[in-house]
Structure 1
């Protein structure tokens, strides 16, 4: 009876297993193999072992991309968590036209990336850009600033666009967690004389901690893989100031035509992604149990 049940289970699971094998495992295995070759676009591949990885570890531009990726991801995720918490706290209050404000604040997350990035590119422009116009008119700047042409400002600029797009997701997730908190807890704390700060740190924050961590891990995965915002705004420049894993891999693979080295960059970025996905999976399973 047990053997029959196992056979039935394997039979029912076989479509999913075949799909995963065809769509994920086989391409992944091919990618790992290509990363061990000197594959160039339009040329046959020759097996070189770990040659691409050794070359990458000696490449200063690769390490620049590593540092930029850590800065871009770390700063963007922290800001999104902070602003998402503030957004959720505001939208959780009884405000006039609250539903309208929720829709307006969630718009950045729903807009197509290309549309929002080109809008920000116009605002950042040093010729006719609205940001320079406002800052010079208010006297905060003496002359227009090259937001996307100055290395330090370019990284700050792409981080701000990523934060602007990603904050609504954190806001939605944290707001859902706040609305699940029983109001009786707040009423009891109010009777005991607790102020707003006490209620936030002793009630709200502990009860939304799990959903906040889960949403932060998910947005970390998305931020690590972010390509469109950086590529459309700066293409990794100026002087590789905004070059991250995704843009550097694209540059090596499609501009320099070196597919083997480009795929090796992507393979190197897999371990932290797998670790983060494992955290998400464990927390999701724990929440459902």
Structure 2
């Protein structure tokens, strides 16, 4: 005898099917507000990370920024596993995240063929070839968090786009770094090193690109052949002191939406060095609130209002993974 098909039966079947599909794909689930959950910090960061990976899974196209973010995130996890013995829970979590990120890269409709020539060259090598893993740690009290910033805040809108490297210089320097070979640890041009060591006034994305390039060079096997480790540390501290000054200026302006992407990039890049002035729970919660605010407004992607709908999600993925690995 066939069961009677009722509205309740149909609803139950639809719910079961939805749960099965979600379990298979891990994609496009409607976000549940984190404010409605009483999760401790160890649970909260993985939840945010998986939410961002779900968005990447749903995207029909993984651009160069997203691919770079996945490569960097994988590198951070592998570096942590190399130096810090994980608990059983951490090992399962880390390996599942690595598997998930590899799956996203492999199934994405974007390929290196769609990237520009220089982007392709960078993505083929960045954080994959000739890398040097270093012990990760949180650094407390290393930066000047109380430096003067009021004068900078007053003119920030006028200077935020000033300085070097520009986008072209940054890409060229990054390519030189990732293509370095141990048999000849010498950068093809002097301009790249000059950009990394320059103390000329630099702001905004120009400054964060300078710091990212320094991080990539520091983690290349050729790094010890180019400069002593102390040089990289001093440069990172000097550059990130300026980044913290900019962040304080942005916060004094009320952290307007137009600077959110930049603020997150600043926290993400200097956070790679473990500086607690930027890699801290205050920033974790502040940045998380942006996503929650947009979810409450019916917008499940905070970045839809920015010039690049994916970039802020890519940055958040790296920031949250680094926070998960280092903050306890």
TM-score, scaled to structure 1 = 0.26
Task: Kindly name which structure, 1 or 2, has the bigger radius of gyration based on alpha carbons.
Answer: 1
More relative contact order in 1 or in 2 (CA 8 Å, sep 6+)?
Answer: 1
Q: Which has the higher helix share?
A: 1
The TM-score with structure 2 as length reference comes to: 0.24
